[in-house]
Every structure is written in structure tokens, then in C-alpha cells.
Amino acid sequence: MATLTVHGVPKSFGKVAVLHGIDLSVADGEMIVIVGASGCGKSTLLRIVAGLETATEGRIVISGADVTRLEPAERDIAMVFQNYALYPHMSVFENMSYGLRIRGVPKPEIARRVQQAAEMLGLGALLQRRPRELSGGQRQRVAMGRAIVREPKLFLFDEPLSNLDAKLRVAMRAEIKRLQRRLGVTSLFVTHDQVEAMTLGDRLVVMNQGRAAQVATPMEIFARPADTYVAGFIGSPAMNFLPATLTEGGLGARIADGPVIRFADGPRPGMAGRALTLGIRPEHFALGGPLPLTPDLIEPLGSETVVHGRLPSGQEVTLRLAGMPASLGTLEIGIRAEHLHVFDGETGLRMDAQPAAALTPAWQGG
């Protein structure tokens, strides 16, 4: 099928820089999910790959061929739009076959492909209907069908599920995943829904204000987020961030107005007193520990309980506990140090543990 490489693509609309040099390399048959907050440039990136916007600089390479200067029609890609963008005056059959008719595919071949895609998507009985006679989910599937019959090198999805209700969304999500596996078409999928991102993607691109903050597998992103933005974006409820400072020897962190937490995985570089941000997911707190938490909102969810509260420093904290806490007064909580994420207090970048041996000379020298 095809590979896709995006080489340092920036994009500005007039004076407004929307993308700041995106690099991305997609393997054959891979499904990449681009996720990020609204307005971070996800659609813009997708539209540049599609050829609907021209990149300010950089190159787009599909299967080794530079397509940067090519029209959308010449790139052999298919796109599913957020609003589906079906042709309102054409029947479902005509919608799905439009691209094939333009390419001059023989009639019997068109009929065969459309029939096949329609069956795959459960649209067989609807081929003669107009888009306005279809439900949202059916329109979504027609849009998928229109992309599938083309048998393109690349699928581009721009939030195709965001107009569907929650139940249909889950169903279509699974369907898209299955289809993509089966057809093996290299795909880019844009969403701002982290569950969609985690479940669909072979790899995720987490975008933040026109930059790719991290490109990695979903589990990697969950377990080792590259910076505080990614850490806060993936996971629900969101990760807690506590300001802290590095202790002597880089062996632990002192939480502002609070106790010292010793790193479980090894020391971090830097002088004592270096500003840090500690990241801890709500499920990674334990009852019984050095931090007194005053709960101000408790959300029992049955098998677990989400507790929102404050530390003595005024810092807000959310935690997720199995079952229901015995008392609803002040809770003594602790941090499970093996799940602690350490970020630089200024840049927000992840700080990984360094092998102790590598650190020692620097410390002695300093």
C-alpha cells in the first residue's frame, strides 16, 4: 500500500503561525491518530496532507513520491470529513461511485466495488436514497463507503465520529478499526476524544499549539508522557500536577508545603532546589500517607469513587479510590512513588531517572 512522510511542515495563515514544523513518518498500513485540543492545528495538518491547503514549507512524501506540489486529485487519497460532505443532489450509489466515474473505471467494476463496500457497511438497501433521507450514522457510513471504494493509498479521517451519539460512536469506532485492519490502508485519524485516540491508534500524535508534543504508541504515551501537556491531556480524570523542588542528590522531591517523596526509579539531574512538577494520576494515590486532603466533592461511581479535594497548600487534587472511603473527613493520602512522573518545573518536559553512576561525577564536580 503506502507510507507517508511529513517533513518539517509549517503553516501560517497570513501572520498567524498555525503549525510549527511537523515531522511525522507513517509506516505502511499503520493507523495514526492525531489528537489535541480544539484549534491546535489537527485539521490543518490533515488538509495539508490532502492537498487542500498548501504548506508554507516542507515536503509531503507518499510512498516515496514527493506530492507537495500536487493537486488533491493527483495524490490518490480519500478523506472522510467531519460533516461527511456528501453530495446532496446524488444518491448514495452516485455519491460512492463519483470518484470512480471520474477516473473512468468501467461500469461493471464500479457496480462491483460499490456493492461490495455497501454490503460491508450495511448500506445495501439504501443505495438509491439521497443523503437527506439518511440518519447521521448512515451518512457517516456512506462517507466511509465513498472513501473505501476508491481503494486509495491513504485514508484521512477528520473527526468523523464527532457528530454521532455516544452509543453509535462506540460502535462505529470499532467498525472503523476493523475495516482499517482488514483493508490495511495507511490512515490518519484526527480526533479530540482521547478514548477514540487510545483505542484506534497504532500510534498517537499528541499536538499542542501547532507542535507535535509526542509521537508514540498509546500505552507509551500513557505510561511515559513527554511533557505536562501530554500528561494532562491523556487520562481521565486528568493527571494531578504538584509543584515541588528537587532534594539534595536528586533522590527525591519536596512537595510545596509538604513532605519529601523519594523517587522509586532513581535520581534526577540538577541542583537541589530545582523547580519540578510532579505528575500523579488520580488512581495512583494510596490511602494512608503523609498528605492530609480535605475533600470538597465526592463522586461515587459504584466500583470506585472520585474524590476532589485540597491539600493544606491550597493545591487541588483529584483521586480515584477503589470502593468508598470509610470516613468522609480529612483523608490521609500518599503517593505511590513507582507511578510518579517527574517534569521540569520550567519547561514542563519529562525528566527520566538517570543511572546513578552517570550522575555521581557531576555532583562531585558541582
Ligand X SMILES: Nc1ncnc2c1ncn2[C@@H]1O[C@H](COP(=O)(O)OP(=O)(O)OP(=O)(O)O)[C@@H](O)[C@H]1O
Q: Which of the listed partners (another protein, Mg ion, ligand X, none) does 18 bind, with a CB threshold of 5 to 8 Å by partner kind?
A: ligand X
What is the rounded distance in angstroms from the CA atom of residue 293 to the CA atom of residue 319?
Answer: 10
Long-range CB contacts (< 8 A, 24+ apart) of 113-120?
113/149, 113/151, 114/145, 114/149, 116/149, 117/145, 117/148, 117/149, 118/92, 118/145, 120/145, 120/148, 120/179
Decide: is 41 part of the binding site for ligand X (CB under 6 A).
yes
Q: Which of the listed partners (another protein, Mg ion, ligand X, none) does 39 bind, with a CB threshold of 5 to 8 Å by partner kind?
A: ligand X
Strands 4-13 and 16-26: antiparallel
Least distance from C-beta 317 to Mg ion, angstroms?
33
Decide: is 13 part of the binding site for another protein (CB under 8 A).
no
Specify which residues 334 forms β-bridges with: 286
Backbone φ/ψ region at 363: left (φ over 0), alpha (ψ -120 to 50), beta: alpha
**Chain position carrying cell 510518579:** 340
155 vs 241, beta carbon nearer ligand X:
155
Specify which residues 19 forms β-bridges with: 11
3 vs 162, beta carbon nearer Mg ion:
162
Q: Which of the listed partners (ligand X, Mg ion, another protein, none) does 150 bind, with a CB threshold of 5 to 8 Å by partner kind?
A: another protein
43 vs 318, beta carbon nearer ligand X:
43
> 335: how many CB neighbours lie within 10 A of its CB?
23
Least distance from C-beta 79 to another protein, angstroms?
5
Q: Give φ, ψ of 185 to 5 degrees.
A: -90, 130
Residue of 78, 190, 206, 331 that binds another protein (CB under 8 A): 78
Decide: is 338 part of the binding site for another protein (CB under 8 A).
no
CA dihedral for 27, 28, 31, 35, sign (positive or negative): positive
Decide: is 79 part of the binding site for another protein (CB under 8 A).
yes
What is the rounded distance in angstroms from the CA atom of residue 337 to the CA atom of residue 33?
Answer: 31
Distances (CA, A) of 139 to 87, 144, 150, 160, 209: 11, 9, 17, 10, 31
18 vs 244, beta carbon nearer ligand X:
18
Residue of 2, 11, 32, 43 that binds Mg ion (CB under 5 A): 43
Residue 132 grid coordinates: 437527506
45 vs 127, beta carbon nearer ligand X:
45
88 vs 314, beta carbon nearer another protein:
88
What mask of x and - would describe binding to another protein in positions 132 to 171, judged by CB under 8 A? --------------x---x---------------------
DSSP for 130-146? -GGGS-HHHHHHHHHHH
Q: What is the DSSP letter of 283?
A: G
Q: Which of the listed partners (another protein, Mg ion, ligand X, none) does 103 bind, with a CB threshold of 5 to 8 Å by partner kind?
A: another protein
Q: Which of the listed partners (another protein, Mg ion, ligand X, none) does 214 bind, with a CB threshold of 5 to 8 Å by partner kind?
A: none
What mask of x and - would describe binding to ligand X in positions 10 to 29, judged by CB under 6 A? ---x--x-x-----------
Decide: is 38 part of the binding site for ligand X (CB under 6 A).
yes
Residue 281 grid coordinates: 494520576
Residues lying near another protein in the complex (CB under 8 A): 50-52, 71-73, 77-79, 81-83, 85-90, 98-99, 102-103, 130, 146, 150
Residues lying near ligand X in the complex (CB under 6 A): 13, 16, 18, 36, 38-44, 192
